[in-house]
Amino acid sequence: MIYTLKYPSHPIERVNQVVFDFIKNSIPDCTYSRALFPDWFREVMANARAKFENKNFEDKFKDLHAEIQQLTIALRQQLFDEFQDGLDIKSLCYDKTKNVVLSESYGQNLHETLKILLKDHFFGIALRSNKTIQKNLGTTFYDHYVAFKSHNNTGRVCPFCGLHEYSLVEGEAKDDYDHWLFKSKYPIYAINFSNLVPMCHKCNQGGVKGIVDVLHDSDGIRRESFYPYEQNKGVNISVNSFTEFGALNDDQKVKFPNGYFELDVTHNDVLDAEKVETWNSVFKIDIRFNSYLSEYHFHVKEDFHEDYLPDHPEYILNYDTINLRMIVTAFKNQIGNPKRKTGVEIHKAYLNFICLPENEHMLFTFCNINLAQAI
């Protein structure tokens, strides 16, 4: 990740207590009753009249209770224990030995019932529209997004890609919450707010994060993942090569009319190596970063000549490569904060690349100096 987010503790988190109490109280053999819920939620059930797929909110809890009761008491206890462990989403991301609640452990019917209740109805409808929930919690789903913005007021750029800004301007639609453990596969964590994180629309769409499983690779093998609200040592971005337009194949020439840069994204801490690999894979970082720099590196040059140099008349561009590297490095060091400006770390990697001794021709081109005359 480009940077980590701050988690906003908020009253809406109490909704997960509903699932906690309901599953815990359903472990013994018992019939359905509203006593299975925390006190504040019983009024919600008493007012559960709105229909969704021909059943109201309480009907769906009755269905879930029936599915839980079909399990052995040992499996009911295991379901609760694994749900309780999953309250700490960070631990599931960091500890590959921890079990997660999956359909293969408890049966497809239970999994589908959890999806209909928690993913579709509770998260999809009730949290946004149920007035009794809002009254008893004293807050709304939108209030939580406002709290997130306030708590992360230094971060405008999506930390998952660093390429796009959050929608933070008043009057704009808010960015979607992403379920870090996506809710179709892990519906039991659908209303766990420590599993919810705002993400830019590009990262949250299909083909990028979407419904990619951060806990398992494409072969179903468990893997470590960053937890968005936990501090880490970050990543290092470097450019390792540039291919001139003339050396590209025909398809590449259409995509990259300014030539093609290839970047490396590596861990700063060896303990984060697998987490970085997962982030890279889930968010298609290599592809997106390479494409971004190949398409937009000329913008860095424009900023240098149109904005930076006019403010620094003391800098004179000449044929002295040491002097040019000093000026470009000074420009790089003030290029901005990656939390508040898009593409910062990629731009810095690009400037480091053109300052390498073997890329002197790129440095001269960047500075608009005729290399032939320099020779």
Q: What is the DSSP string of 156-216?
A: -B-TTTSSSB---STTSPPPPEEESS-TTT-GGGTT-GGGEEE--TTTTSTTSSTT--SSB
d(CA 345, CA 338): 7
Cα separation, 168 vs 150, in Å, equals 10
Longest Cα pair distance anywhere in the chain, in angstroms? 89
pLDDT in tens, the chain (375 residues): 888 888 888 999 999 999 999 999 999 999 999 999 999 999 988 887 766 567 888 999 999 999 999 999 999 999 999 999 989 999 999 999 998 888 888 899 999 999 999 999 999 888 888 899 999 999 988 888 888 888 887 678 999 999 998 875 455 555 577 899 998 999 999 999 999 988 888 898 777 787 889 999 999 999 999 999 998 888 999 999 999 988 988 888 888 888 899 999 999 999 999 999 999 999 999 999 999 999 899 999 999 999 999 999 999 999 999 999 999 999 999 998 898 899 999 999 999 999 999 999 999 999 998 765 555
Distance CA 281, CA 223 (A): 11
pTM above 0.85, yes or no: yes
Q: Which residue has the tokens 């559960």?
A: 48
Q: How far apart are CA 20 and CA 39, in angstroms?
A: 13
**DSSP notation for 302-352:** HHIIIIIHHH-TT----S-HHHHHHHHHHHHHTS--TTTSTTHHHHHHHHH
- On whether the CB atoms of residues 298 and 288 are closer than 8 A, the answer is no
